[in-house]
């Protein structure tokens, strides 16, 4: 146990690095790192199991900085503990292409587990990680071999608790009794606008006790001993724990601590000089004494912890070779060797059956086809399982004390999406969660974060258009598909039948460098006949479904509107006008194809008409100003789906008229 003098110096090192980096960058948030410095020392020096030499060690504890604006706290700890993050990296805080971005980014900085900044999402990710740890442990641990055995810790502030997502995920974490989840709350009473007592007066203790959490505190957040004792106590609980730490924001800044001015701006040269005098600290910026590095250094301890685990895992491998191999495959995110074979067989089955069914049902069939070889599937729905159809025959509902592979997230769309991101980041699972497409709006920021982090989260959205019918415009998606396509690195699939649905699922599962949405209909859609070449091209995101010699017009459609495009092509043929039909289930994937392939699908010089039951603006990138779009630029109506499609112009007659218009016939 280190002395009080030593831990004080360790904490002050964080304060110094935070204020120096923010000052040099001339932007950032020094207040939180300075206020949470002792909390950081307590956790990282006495409890946090990690190995700076191997940030990806499978059984490491997970640490998340949900209040990500205080990123210099994390960067300082990583640097001092011995991660590959140099002092020059700290000097380069918030600069272009640095390893020390304004908010922590996974994949950029060694030791950062998730990208945080949008408040509340870090703690949501932590719930997903704790859930993954519990489920993996149940699946792979054996007597004498607890190869999955670690904690998930998160730092959070007032802002995280004000965000609605905190309610969603804390409530579910309590219900599931995720007892290896520990949150440390920086209760400093300050946000950007000032003292939070004017807008945040929740009784946080009672709130979390009502969720079913173990609550400790308030404790003195500036006492390393008190914080450490609270963490030790939390480890004994059979429930998740919130440790309420009373702190002073910007502690150590004698003229600014405790106020909002220290929250999100450099301290300034005068105050920094005062801090150095107050803390009796070296006046040279970015200078850390050797004895403090020695006190912080976690490399030896980390190597020992991982070494002990490696030895245990070697014994585990000898005793349970198949389990060990499967665990390693899962944690590496690799698919089974026979995945392509199973996927091809599933596609062939779709072709043989030629079913006319809703694509949401086709999606369930696709899940059922893949699930037997993908034990890493972790499905779920935001209280719409019977509508989204994300369960399968062998799925088992997760309940408190009862592990499984399907989660009833409740009406928590945002929480679900952010928890899924945490599950992916932990490793060992491919999660998918579902709601109605309209309610993707609730999840939007988590979808964006998944895309930014380049992780394999699968977001299933059903009831994808006015085809929803009688529930009316509140539930009918109009702008949603197009707006999702605007998110960089997000693949969006809107299949037209069973074959495209199976291909979409296969593509989403195979993609390791980003998330996918899978967007399905409520209503039945007919099977589309294709030759083998067309089937193979579905995975390219856009392909020629039906062709005609010397085509005068190209009809581009997605999802439920592909059937309309085919019928319109038939009608045009009856009038002597040859039309090509292009199905484009994923414009995102199509755009990544070679220019020659895209040109073969959409040849220059042939007029185009796009057909999709949503806003029209997106499609002008394909049809040009000379082309036409059959879409909807208003909200929907409440009526049976067939009535709505006719009302909004999704008829053969209208498509034919649009086609004739663009070719001047």
- Which residues are known to be catalytic? 413
Q: In angstroms, rounded to a whole number, what is the distance separating the alpha carbons of residues 465 and 474? A: 11
Residue 260: partners with Cβ closer than 8 Å, 6 or more residues away: 190, 191, 192, 193, 194, 195, 249
Cite the DSSP H helix spans in 149-250. Answer: 158-162, 164-176, 204-211, 224-234
H/E element, 462: strand 458-462
The strand ranges marked E within 212-335 are 214-220, 241-246
Please state, in angstroms and as integers, the Cα–Cα distance from residue 631 to each residue in 465, 611, 628, following that order.
11, 6, 10
Could you say which DSSP state residue 70 is in? G
Q: Are strands 543-546 and 579-583 parallel, antiparallel or unpaired?
A: antiparallel
**CB contact at 8 A, 100 and 94:** yes
Distance of CA 392 to the CA centre of its chain: 23
| Six token digits for residue 321 | 């070779």
The strand ranges marked E within 507-635 are 516-519, 524-525, 543-546, 553-557, 579-583, 608-611, 628-630
Number of DSSP helices (H) and strands (E) in the chain, helices first: 28, 20
| Six token digits for residue 239 | 């429930």
Q: In angstroms, rounded to a whole number, what is the distance separating the alpha carbons of residues 459 and 379? A: 10
């Amino acid at each position: 146990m280190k002395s009080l003098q030593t831990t004080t110096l360790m904490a002050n090192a964080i304060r110094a690095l935070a204020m120096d980096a923010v000052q040099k960058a001339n932007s950032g948030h020094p207040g939180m790192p300075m206020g949470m410095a002792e909390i950081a020392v307590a956790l990282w020096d006495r409890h946090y199991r990690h190995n700076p030499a191997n940030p990806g060690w499978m059984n490491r504890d997970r640490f998340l900085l949900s209040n990500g604006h205080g990123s210099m706290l994390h960067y300082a700890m990583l640097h001092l503990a011995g991660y590959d993050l140099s002092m020059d990296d700290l000097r380069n805080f918030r600069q272009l292409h640095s390893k020390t971005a304004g908010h922590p980014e996974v994949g950029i900085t060694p030791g950062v587990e998730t990208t945080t900044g949008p408040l509340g999402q870090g703690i949501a990710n932590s719930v997903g990680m704790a859930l993954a740890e519990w489920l993996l442990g149940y699946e792979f641990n054996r007597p004498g071999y607890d190869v999955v055995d670690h904690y998930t810790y998160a730092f959070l502030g007032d802002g995280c608790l004000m965000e609605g997502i905190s309610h969603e995920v804390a409530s579910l974490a309590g219900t599931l009794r995720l007892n290896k989840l520990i949150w440390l709350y920086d209760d400093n009473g300050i946000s950007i606008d000032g003292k939070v007592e004017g807008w945040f007066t929740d009784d946080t203790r009672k709130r979390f006790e009502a969720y079913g959490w173990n609550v400790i505190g308030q404790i003195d957040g500036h006492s390393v001993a008190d914080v450490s004792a609270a963490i030790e106590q939390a480890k004994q609980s059979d429930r998740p724990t919130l440790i309420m730490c009373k702190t002073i924001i910007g502690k150590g800044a004698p003229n600014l601590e405790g106020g909002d001015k220290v929250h999100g701006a450099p301290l300034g040269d005068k105050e920094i000089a005062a801090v150095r005098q107050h803390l009796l600290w070296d006046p040279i910026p970015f200078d850390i004494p050797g004895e403090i590095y020695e006190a912080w250094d976690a490399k030896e301890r980390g190597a020992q912890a991982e070494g002990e685990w490696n030895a245990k895992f070697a014994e585990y491998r000898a005793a349970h070779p198949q389990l060990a191999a499967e665990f390693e495959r899962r944690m590496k995110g690799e698919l089974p060797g026979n995945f392509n074979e199973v996927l091809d067989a599933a596609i062939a089955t779709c072709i043989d059956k030629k079913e006319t069914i809703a694509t949401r049902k086709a999606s369930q069939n696709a899940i059922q086809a893949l699930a037997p070889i993908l034990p890493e599937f972790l499905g779920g729905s935001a209280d719409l399982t019977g509508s989204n159809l994300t369960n399968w025959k062998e799925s088992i509902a997760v309940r408190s004390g009862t592990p499984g592979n399907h989660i009833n997230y409740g009406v928590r769309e945002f929480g679900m999406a952010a928890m899924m991101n945490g599950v992916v980041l932990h490793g060992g699972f491919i999660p998918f969660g579902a709601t109605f497409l309209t309610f993707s709006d609730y999840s939007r920021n988590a979808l964006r974060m998944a895309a930014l982090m380049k992780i394999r989260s699968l977001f299933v959205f059903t009831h994808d258009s006015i085809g929803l019918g009688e529930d009316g415009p509140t539930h009918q998606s109009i702008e949603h598909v197009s707006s999702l396509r605007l998110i960089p690195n997000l693949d969006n699939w809107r299949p037209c039948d069973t074959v495209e649905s199976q291909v979409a699922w296969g593509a989403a599962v195979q993609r390791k460098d980003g998330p996918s949405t899978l967007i399905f209909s409520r209503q039945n859609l007919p099977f589309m006949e294709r030759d083998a070449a067309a089937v193979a091209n579905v995975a390219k995101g856009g392909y020629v479904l039906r062709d005609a010699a010397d085509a005068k017009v190209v009809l581009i459609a997605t999802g439920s509107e592909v059937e309309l495009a085919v019928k319109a092509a038939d009608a045009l043929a009856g009038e002597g006008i040859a039309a090509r039909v292009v199905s484009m289930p994923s414009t995102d994937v199509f755009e990544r194809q070679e220019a020659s392939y895209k040109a073969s699908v959409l040849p220059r010089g042939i007029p185009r008409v796009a057909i999709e039951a949503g806003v029209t603006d997106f499609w002008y990138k394909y049809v040009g100003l000379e082309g036409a779009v059959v879409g909807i630029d208003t909200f929907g109506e409440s009526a049976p789906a067939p009535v709505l499609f006719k009302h909004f112009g999704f008829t053969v007659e209208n498509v034919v008229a649009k086609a004739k218009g663009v070719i001047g016939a």
